[in-house]
Amino acid sequence: MAITARRYYRGTNVGRAVTIADLRAMATRRLPAFVLEYLEGGAEDEWTLRRNREVFSTIEFSPATLTGVGSPDLSTMLFGVRMRLPFLIAPTGFNALYVREGDRLLAQAAAKAGVPFTQSTVSNMRVEEIADVEGLHHWMQLYVFRDQVFVDELVERAKKAGCQALLVTVDAATFGNREWDRRNYRQGMEPTLRNKLDILAHPRWALSVMAHGIPPFGNLLDFLPADQQSFARTATWSREQIEPRLHWDHIRHLRKIWPRTLIIKGVATLQDAELAAEAGVDGIVLSNHGGRQLDGVPSPVSVLPEIAGRLKGRLTILVDSGFRRGTDIVKALALGADGVMIGRATLYGLAAGGEAGAARAIAILEEEIRRSLALLGCGSIAELDRRYIRP
């Protein structure tokens, strides 16, 4: 019998969100269509975007009963630091599009939960502003731009700001083809009339975001002349700046100028994972950018076992793309990941309810991981391995 009365919570009280899907439903209601499209969409036919979710339904658990687990230990070691939880916030650009000061609010929620926050090159706040968030494990993401001076200066600023890790994105040597997103704009980054009218139907969002004007990308401001610093101009400039000849030499250069943890994000194959180890990086993120770059690549979770089998212990292996559930995270950790990065799941929380919404998303994932470990009969993240996955 179909239960027609079932529906996600769509109100405004984030405390009533039971799952990430509820926060997504709340965000869907609050955001105008073009903002929702930017958050949700993927490249071209979105095959990879769908695959990122479908892969989890091909992996089955193998639980142990009567193991006397009690309350499982969710902490994990990453780069020599004990983290309270086995997941981190992935870098996402343009967080102020959901709520005013989105970067700061997401970073604050992360800091309070002991979860590292990775700030995007194209965040709306400067690296120095996020460095002020108390108690934060602050990581910085780098898009390698053509302008070497920009790259070296941003790295220097991240160093001075105390960032603990530099995460270099390597799956974006050109901007992904997000066709549904493109249809929402005229020339330049100007939303179509239909999208402008849709803003009127979303007053809560408009009051938070539009009332103060969309802020430009904070880290890029010093590189643009004063009359070129509008949001549209910085957005266009950043896309033109992407280094199309991105090469391992860039990584070797960054290895020389960045003394702390160096990670490359966007690795998709065993071969590249091995080259990363040879280039002297400390970690990799197996990622397809949440299905936003090359359509047709597999979910990182399907290549994870092979890569972890060869490289675990030599490199820290993080993974992202498609994680919406504690069980998704537990599956990846059991298959050999050292940690999981979360993109949209916490953005849904941020878009649904600012800092409280982001905190709710983190709490939901934490609760789900804890419950799943208890039901698996596994006492800690450290003990999770292939025994808990049905071959």
Ligand X SMILES: Cc1cc2nc3c(=O)[nH]c(=O)nc-3n(C[C@H](O)[C@H](O)[C@H](O)COP(=O)(O)O)c2cc1C
Reference 320, options 304, 292, 337, 342; nearest CA is 342
Paired tokens of 33: 């269509």
Based on CB atoms, which residue is closest to ligand X, 343 or 349? 343
Judge contact between 144 and 151, C-beta under 8 A.
yes
Site for ligand X (CB under 6 A): which residue of 169, 195, 316, 372? Answer: 169
Residue span 287-326 as binding mask against ligand X, x where in contact by CB under 6 A, dash where not: x-xx-x---------------------------xxxx---
**Which residue of the chain is nearest ligand X when measured via CB?**
343
Establish if 119 lies at the interface with ligand X (CB under 6 A).
no
Q: Of 234 and 287, which CB lies nearer to ligand X in the complex structure?
A: 287
DSSP string, 93-147: S-GGGTSTTHHHHHHHHHHHHT--EEEPTT-SS-HHHHHTSTT--EEEEE--BS-
In this structure, the dihedral spanned by the alpha carbons of residues 224, 91, 304 and 41, taken in order and rounded to 10 degrees, is -90
Convert 301-333 to b/e letters by CB count within 10 Å (16 or more is b).
Answer: bbbbbebbeebeeebbbbbbbbbbbbbbbbbbb
The piece of 22-30, 60-68, 272-280, 339-347 that touches ligand X (CB under 6 A) is 339-347
Least distance (Å) between residue 126 CB and ligand X: 15
Out of 90, 209, 235, 263, the only residue in the binding site for ligand X (CB under 6 A) is 90
Per-residue mark of binding to ligand X, 269-288 (x: CB under 6 A): ------------------x-
Q: Which two tokens stand for residue 157?
A: 């600023």
Under the binding rule (CB under 6 A), the answer on residue 353 touching ligand X is no
Contact segment (CB under 6 A) with ligand X among 108-116, 193-201, 337-345, 382-390 equals 337-345
Least Cβ distance, residue 288 to ligand X (angstroms) = 8
Interaction mask 193-232, ligand X, x per CB under 6 A = ----------------------------------------
Q: How far apart are CA 20 and CA 26, in angstroms?
A: 10
Residue 191 three-state SS: strand
Residue 122 is a binding residue for ligand X (CB under 6 A): yes
Secondary structure class of 276 (helix, strand, coil): helix
Residue 331 binds ligand X, judged by CB under 6 A? no
Residue closer to ligand X, measured from CB, 141 or 316? 141
Least separation in angstroms between CB 169 and ligand X:
4
124 binds ligand X (CB under 6 A): no
- Residue 6, exposed/middle/buried by CB under 10 A (0-12, 13-18, 19+)? exposed
Mask for 44-73, x = binds ligand X (CB under 6 A): --------x---------------------
Q: Can you name the residues that pair with 167 across neighbouring β-strands?
A: 141, 263
Please say if 289 is a catalytic residue.
Answer: yes
CA dihedral 153, 154, 159, 164 (to 10 degrees): -160
265 near ligand X, rule: CB under 6 A: yes
Map tokens 């470990």 to a residue: 373
Measured from the Cβ of residue 76, the count of other Cβ atoms closer than 10 Å reads 19
Taking each helix axis from N to C end, the angle separating 33-40 and 344-376, rounded to the nearest 10 degrees, works out to 50
Question: Which of the ranges 8-16, 85-93, 227-235, 251-259 carries the binding residues for ligand X, by CB under 6 A?
Answer: 85-93
Is residue 178 a contact residue for ligand X (CB under 6 A)?
Answer: no
Of 31, 344, 352, 359, which lies in the binding site for ligand X, with binding defined by CB under 6 A? Answer: 344
CB of 318 or CB of 378, closer to ligand X: 318
Pseudo-torsion of CA 20, 22, 28, 30, nearest 10°? Answer: -110
What's the rounded Cα separation, in Å, for the pair 89 and 344?
A: 9
# residues near ligand X by CB under 6 A: 24
For binding to ligand X (CB under 6 A), which residues are involved?
38-39, 52, 90-93, 120, 122, 141, 169, 265, 287, 289-290, 292, 320-323, 342-345
Q: Which residues are catalytic?
A: 289
